[in-house]
Amino acid sequence: MAIKTRSDDLEVLLAVIEFGGFSAAADALNIQVARVSRSVTKIEKALNTAILIRTTRRVMLTDEGKRFIDAVNIGLQHIQKAEEDIIAKGKMPQGKLRVDAASPFIFHQLTPHINAFNKAFPEIQIELNSNEGIVDLIEKRTDVAIRIGKLEDSTLHARALGRSPLFIVASPEYIAQNGLAQTPSELKNHKLIGFSNIKSLNKWPIKGLDSVTPTMTASNGETIRQLALSGNGITCLSGFMVSKDIKSGRLISLLEPYRLTGTDRELVNAVYYKSSSVTERVTTFIDFIKPRLTL
């Protein structure tokens, strides 16, 4: 159905209401009073109802006029929002973005892509912070955190990045000196490297094996990886840090027939608070980094 009222006439009507009269509206818009009167009359004829009550001292809205103007203002707000959205899409996101993750994830999955991200989004200043445990985003002034494993219930918004399988690994040098662990029960005869700070990470995804008692521990996954590469024992680590080692032969994947997959420890998520001031930067970062991850 055709629109009966023209936008320029509506502009004049809104000016009459805003400035309180025909003459004041004419002065504000730099047009003749007769033009103001014609615009208002045209709108009232188009709607077949009185919009204004005219007195010698002022003009007032009728009940119908008030409902009409309220609806017009809502429509104008939608138009303004649409304009702002289009303009915003033409702008590059900018500002500081604080990213938190365990140091192995930063080393193996984020830092290789930061240069490309900076070139693509030069107005975003990345700050990478490594913590081996779960941090409070507000307390640590963190915009987005990468978390490995099952998420606890929280008010945080989460975006799944994928799954990173767990592998039981040892170096060829360790195996040459100590032999293969061919069944879970044989692990008790080997040197095992585990985590000292998060005991739940010493539950290896092996059929018939609840948890292990490490003979050597470290608080950092990258330290454990380096210990394994140096022939210090057998360990369990995520694919995001050892897949390349396995492919190159620097580490050997053990107990494959017994390895469980699809566990909660494989989950990788980005978590953040929905804040209008940083959500665009967070979304930009996740959209950029997710397809480049090698989990």
Domains in the chain: ranges and CATH? 7-89 (1.10.10.10), 95-164+266-292 (3.40.190.10), 166-260 (3.40.190.10)
pLDDT at residue 74 in the model: 78
Per-residue pLDDT tens for 37-65? 888 888 888 888 888 887 767 788 888 88
Summarize pLDDT for 78-130 with one digit per residue, the tens.
Answer: 776 666 565 556 566 788 898 989 899 999 999 999 999 999 899 899 999 88
DSSP element (H, E) containing 225? helix 221-229
CA terminus-to-terminus distance, the chain: 55
Q: Which one is predicted more confidently, 267 or 157?
A: 267
Residue 277: what pLDDT? 61
32 SS3 class: coil
| Rounded CA separation 140/181 (Å) | 42
d(C-alpha 37, C-alpha 295), whole Å? 70
Angstrom distance (rounded) from CA 162 to CA 295: 7
Nearest Cα neighbor of 75 from 34, 14, 120, 15 is 14
Average pLDDT, integer, range 195-204: 86
Q: Taking phi first (over 0 means left), then psi (-120 to 50 degrees means alpha), and beta for anything else, what does residue 20 get?
A: left
